Structure 1
Amino acid sequence: MDLVENRAGSGGGGRCAAPSVDGELAVALAASGDRVVAEPLTPENLAARQERDAAVRPRPSVEELRDGGRFEVDEWRVPGPPGEPDVTLLSARPAGLGGALPLLYYMHGGGMIMGNAPSVLPQLLREWALPLGMAVISVEYRLAPRVRYPGPVEDCYAGFTWAAAHAADLGIDPDRLVIGGKSAGGGLAAALALLTRDRGGPTPIGQLLLCPMLDDRDATVSSRQMAGVDVWDRISNATAWRALLGDLYGTADVPPYAAPARATDLSGLPPAYIDVGSAETFRDEDVAYADAIWQAGGRAELHVWPGAFHGFDTFAPDAALSRDACEARTRWLRRLLARPASGAA
């Protein structure tokens, strides 16, 4: 896989050179072998890829997540959206911590079509729950195309409102709720921030958006630059959006709760942390989202990691750039949690 220059057509005639990839990250990606599927995700191979993901992606049990008593972990089945199935939440916190803890309500990645709630918990507990004294809830939202929009985001909203309403039972502080996610989960977190604002739901104090999937239109420069180059390129992206949106795909009627980049009003949102790589498909839509928050008078901290491709910190967690990204996210969370409920990071 050539990670230095994209020779594919830009969609507008002619070439579109891709940004260079950080050398340490490129070595790690090349060494990942079968962990990267070179062919893009398409409607034809979607079912097979979903089956493969379900077979190989870790799904640790509650007992495994407890890690010998290091963490308190519970699984909850809570009421889903009206008329829909219950939603599964995995709630975890460092063992022995009393009092009401701040909560990170987290949505996993996977393009809206893959992934599971337990798989992300070990990293969340290690990187944020332990050092920051946080509780974490990971939500098992339904996946497309079996369940299309608005199913996944409504699952996330139902779980979030339940958690806020049962804060005392869960040992969490209802005034220190942070929503977050990565890739598709970052897009769901951004959508959840819009939903809670517009419905008058529980108010999060921050939104942690890691390389979020925000725009169904697939028309940015970075989308064209990284076609056939990024590990998640515009063909895979279009396949995932089509799976989520169904007949809405390709129309002007896509609501912002499906694709937050469609939102025309980003005022009144909680402070956002947005990070993305310079060499990934989502770069331009994520930068534009941060800019739109600023233009609406809001607060956003934006990091564009030079030479980083999509999910770089997953492929190379020990790389210098990955460590810097993790530390920057942790610093933002620490500042956010240290401020009064009405403050901003």
Structure 2
Amino acid sequence: MDPELEAFIPLFPAADLSDPVSARKDLAALSSSVGEPDTSGILVEDRTVPADPDVPIRVYDPHKSRGAVIWLHGGGWVMGDVDTEHPWAAAIARHAGVVVVSVGYRLAPENPFPAALDDAYAALQWVADHAEELGVDPDRIAVGGHSAGGGIAAGLALRARDERGPRIRFQLLNQPGLDDRQDTWSARNFTDTPWMTRDKCTAAWRHYLGGAPATPYAAPARATDLSGLPPAHIASAELCPNRDENITYALRLLQAGVSVELHQWPGTFHGSQAILSADVSQRQIAELAGALRRALAD
């Protein structure tokens, strides 16, 4: 493990989703400990997407680009909101120079699948419909996210393709949760890695699916046809249960004719990019932002 990251492991909350309410409080505390991000030169505005129910979003406009990304936070589909994602959404907006629309999707287990995907799709449709108001080119809209949010983003790309919804130009998937079956080598062997353990993965999928069978929109690794999807940048962490499903999904996209950039980060663990002081975390965030900037460039 990267020694800069290893020093912070004792500060991470226990990897436990048996009590979602407590887990949400722990994530909120962890996020607030990061401090306020630099939003100078960025217009930050809370908006609401009309839907059933309405969807809260936070829009970050750096006034530098006509591109936008629908951004989905991590948290195992159980934790997180636009406030906990604030430091990372602001960093993406600042470094990528694109409009970031951070989505406060509904959380499981109170709202199992497809609630989160429906909220994300409503946000995607809203951005496409309000592109002129946002100063966004409707042909330069991406989807992206961390962890569970990356899985939702991948499902969003599949759904938009199948339903002939708004055109998605690019998908940015950072350590995405893609496969509920947990039968890869990394899922079977990384059972007690920092922040994300096998038990936590199991609980997250159980909460998200709510006892229903997984569909490809919930677990994109189950999709049999990946053709016609947007180009992707997929990043995985070496010491992460999701690692192999991330790599396999990237290979399957390539085999389906989809352009993919894959980066497997050695010495990192799931969510370690939250340790902003570490050199490897700074490089990870810069790379994610750079991939987004290039994909949405004029």
TM-score (norm 1): 0.80
- Is 1:224 paired with 2:188? yes
Matched, 1:41 2:16: yes
Give the deviation of 1:52 after TM superposition: 4.1
User: Does residue 50 of structure 1 match 2:24?
Assistant: yes
Partner secondary structure for residue 242 of structure 1:
helix
Quote how far apart the aligned CAs of 1:289 are. 0.5
Partner residue, 2:3? 23
Q: Does 1:322 align with 2:287?
A: no
One-letter amino acid matched to 1:293: L
Is the 2:216–2:223 Cα contact (8 Å) retained in structure 1? yes
Deviation track 1:212-269 (CA, whole Å, cap 9, x = no partner) reads: 0111111211112211223211100110110111122xxxx41111111111111001
Provide the residue aligned with 1:234 in structure 2: 198
Q: CA deviation at 1:321?
A: 2.0
- Aligned pairs, how many? 297
Per-residue deviation, residues 183-216 of structure 1 (Å, max 9, x unmatched): 1110011011101101111111100000101111
Q: Hey, what does 2:103 align to over in structure 1?
A: 139
Amino acid corresponding to residue 182 of structure 2 in structure 1: D
SS at match of 2:177: coil
Cα displacement string for residues 252-303 of structure 1 (whole angstroms, at most 9, x for unaligned residues): x411111111111110011110001111111011001001101111111111
Deviation at 1:89, TM superposition (A): 1.4
1:303-342 alignment to 2 at 5 Å?
Answer: 303-315=263-275, 317-338=276-297
Cα distance in 2 for partners of 1:178, 1:59 equals: 29
Aligned equivalents of 2:163, 2:33: Cα separation in 1: 33
Distance in 1, matches of 2:297 and 2:66, equals 12
Q: Deviations over 1:23-82 (max 9, x none)?
A: 22212324x2xx331xx4253x3343234445664499xxx8895x632222222222xx
- Could you tell me whether the CA contact under 8 Å between 2:37 and 2:90 is conserved in 1? no
Point out where structure 1 has 5 or more consecutive residues left out of the alignment: 1-20, 340-345
Q: Deviations over 1:139-182 (max 9, x none)?
A: 11000000011111011001110111011112212111111100
C-alpha separation between the residues in 1 aligned to 2:33 and 2:6? 28
Matches within 5 A, 1:1-345: 21-30=1-10, 32=11, 35-37=12-14, 40-43=15-18, 45-54=19-28, 57-58=31-32, 67=39, 70-80=41-51, 84-94=52-62, 97=63, 101-126=66-91, 128-248=92-212, 253-315=213-275, 317-338=276-297
What amino acid does structure 1 have at the position aligned with 2:16?
A: L
Contact 1:42 1:236 in 2 (8 A): yes
Secondary structure in structure 2 of the residue aligned to 1:104: strand
Q: Is the 8 A contact 1:208 1:273 kept in 2?
A: yes
SS in 2 for 1:25: helix
Question: Any idea what SS the aligned residue of 2:85 has?
Answer: helix
Distance in 2 separating the partners of 1:225 and 1:168: 48
SS at structure 2 position matched to 1:124: helix
- Asked whether the 8 Å contact 1:214–1:260 carries over to 2, the reply is yes
DSSP-derived class of the 1:292 partner: helix
Instruction: Mark the CA change 1:56 to 1:177 in structure 2 (over 3 Å): closer, same or farther.
Output: same
Tell me how far apart the structure 2 counterparts of residues 196 and 274 of structure 1 sit (CA, whole Å): 19
Quote the residue 1:5 is aligned against: none
Q: Does the 8 Å contact 1:145/1:243 carry over to 2?
A: yes
Rounded to whole Å, the distance in 2 between the matches of 1:109 and 1:334 is 21
Q: Percent identity?
A: 40
Matched position secondary structure for 1:338: coil
Letter in 2 for 1:337: L
**What is the distance in 2 between the residues matched to 1:112 and 1:284?**
20
Stretches of structure 2 lacking an aligned partner (at least 5 in a row):
none
Q: Say which one has the larger Rg.
A: 1
Provide the secondary structure at the position in 2 that maps to 1:324: helix
Q: 1:91 to 1:46 in 2, by over 3 A?
A: closer
1:119 aligns to what SS in structure 2? coil
Q: For 1:110 and 1:215, locate their aligned partners in 2 and report how far apart those are by CA, in whole Å.
A: 16
